[in-house]
Amino acid sequence: MATAAGLTPLLGPAATPPPPRPTGALRVTAIARRLLLANADGCAEQRHDFGLETAAPSGRSWGAPVTVVWPDGPARAAGLQPGDLIRTINGVPWSADARERERFMATLADAGRTPRMALVVERDGQPRTLTLAGQPRCHAEVRLSDQPFINATAEGSQIVIGGGLERLLADDAELAFAVAHEAAHLILGHTAPEQARAIVTRADRVALEQEADALAIVMMAQAGYRPDAAAGAWLKVADASRTPLLRLMDISGPYPATQERAAFLAAAASRLIPPARLPVSHAR
């Protein structure tokens, strides 16, 4: 059959192009979500993931706009769509009253504490009632800083990824190592005040970093990221973070020396998964 241009397609209709890969803050969220879901069994403190992201509600929106519905999550399975407006969550409605709005916001923020989420959403002007069954995930709140620092930090249940680090580690598996390393600190209790007081010498700090590195490698593999990307990620960070003099002297402050740490990460990755079976990561 000829097309309008007079040509006959030999390969059938064009395939639907894949959706664009997340970038920036959404990329960090996607990587963190994958890691935290895949490693939930190893976390003493868990929350429930419902597979959606929302924008901050405003007085004009009369609810919380759904911005992302992850393809593998409960929200997609329940029929939620980007653009839906959450009007009620777990029986708490959005309201013009400031105090009731605060209650709505608190319920939305704490939704992960319960295994189910009951929603009334508005779509095309019509209300829809949906019930989502959550998936367990490690408890951590991961966000991207708008500051350009090449670093990541963990404190309490918060993980902050520097904007410079996200841009430096263009391969998702490399960025997954940075997120997993900070999550490992939380899981292992390294950020607890009593643990911080126990760190007296550089050797103490190095031991904690290696413990977090070892767990991060396992977490990467559990989530399907290439563990052998960890060593390369660390070398990139070390090179970008230090002045020429510190590079020359190989001074790493309280952390393991650059090449020593890279060797540790490479060895841990090689013990975990045969290289021929490593899943593929994708660079931007």
Average pLDDT score over residue span 121-128: 96
Average pLDDT taken over every residue of the chain: 86
d(CA 220, CA 199): 27
Pick the last residue of a domain from 118, 136, 154: 136
d(CA 220, CA 179): 9
Residue 4 — very low, low, confident or very high, per pLDDT cuts 50/70/90? very low
Residue 17 — very low, low, confident or very high, per pLDDT cuts 50/70/90? low
What pLDDT score does 8 carry? 37
Position with higher pLDDT, 100 vs 32: 32
Pick the last residue of a domain from 81, 114, 136: 136
147 and 113 both lie in a single domain? no
The answer as to whether 30 is a domain residue is: no
d(CA 154, CA 171): 22
The answer to whether the beta carbons of residues 175 and 237 sit under 8 Å apart is no
What pLDDT score does 69 carry? 98
- Report pLDDT digits (tens) over 62-84: 899 999 999 999 999 999 999 99
pLDDT > 70 fraction of the chain, expressed in percent and rounded: 82
The answer as to whether 22 is a domain residue is: no
The answer as to whether 127 is a domain residue is: yes
185 and 128 both lie in a single domain? no
Query: Which tokens go with 152?
Result: 């990541």
pLDDT at 154 over 80: yes
188 and 208 both lie in a single domain? yes
Exposed, middle or buried by CB within 10 Å (0-12, 13-18, 19+), for 244?
A: exposed
165 and 272 both lie in a single domain? yes
Provide the sign of the torsion angle of the four alpha carbons 130, 124, 15, 31, taken in this order: negative
Which region, left, alpha or beta, applies to residue 79 given φ > 0 means left and ψ of -120 to 50 means alpha? left
The answer to whether the beta carbons of residues 117 and 80 sit under 8 Å apart is no
The strand pairing partners of 66, in sequence order, are 54
Average pLDDT score over residue span 247-258: 56
272 and 163 both lie in a single domain? yes
The answer as to whether 258 is a domain residue is: yes
Average pLDDT score over residue span 98-108: 92
The strand pairing partners of 69, in sequence order, are 52
CATH number of residue 77's parent domain: 2.30.42.10
What pLDDT score does 255 carry? 59
93 and 205 both lie in a single domain? no
- Report pLDDT digits (tens) over 127-153: 999 999 999 999 999 999 999 999 999
**120-146 burial string, b = 16+ CB within 10 Å, else e?**
bbbeeeeebebebebbbbbbbebebbe
pTM of the model: 0.84
pLDDT at 277 over 90: no
The answer as to whether 20 is a domain residue is: no
Domain residue limits at 238 = 140-277
Residue 253 — very low, low, confident or very high, per pLDDT cuts 50/70/90? low
145 and 62 both lie in a single domain? no
Residue 245 — very low, low, confident or very high, per pLDDT cuts 50/70/90? very low
* Cα first-last separation, the chain: 39
97 and 144 both lie in a single domain? no
Q: How many domains does the chain have?
A: 2
Pick the last residue of a domain from 121, 136, 151: 136
The answer as to whether 40 is a domain residue is: no
What pLDDT score does 5 carry? 41
52 and 123 both lie in a single domain? yes
131 and 69 both lie in a single domain? yes
d(CA 174, CA 230): 6
pLDDT at 18 over 60: no
The answer as to whether 155 is a domain residue is: yes
The answer as to whether 63 is a domain residue is: yes
pLDDT at 125 over 60: yes
98 and 146 both lie in a single domain? no
pLDDT at 12 over 90: no
Average pLDDT score over residue span 157-172: 96
153 and 260 both lie in a single domain? yes
Average pLDDT score over residue span 105-112: 94
- 3-state SS string over the chain? CCCCCCCCCCCCCCCCCCCCCCCHHHHHHHHHHHHHHHCHHHCCCEEEECCEEECCCECCCCEEEEEEECCCCHHHHHCCCCCCEEEEECCEECCCCHHHHHHHHHHHHCHHHCCEEEEEEEECCEEEEEEEECEEEECCEEEECCCCCCCEEEECCEEEECHHHHHHCCEHHHHHHHHHHHHHHHHCCCCCHHHHHHCCCHHHHHHHHHHHHHHHHHHHHHCCCCCCHHHHHHHHHHHHHCCHHHHHHCCCCCCCCHHHHHHHHHHHHHHHCCHHHCCCCCEC
Residue 6 — very low, low, confident or very high, per pLDDT cuts 50/70/90? very low
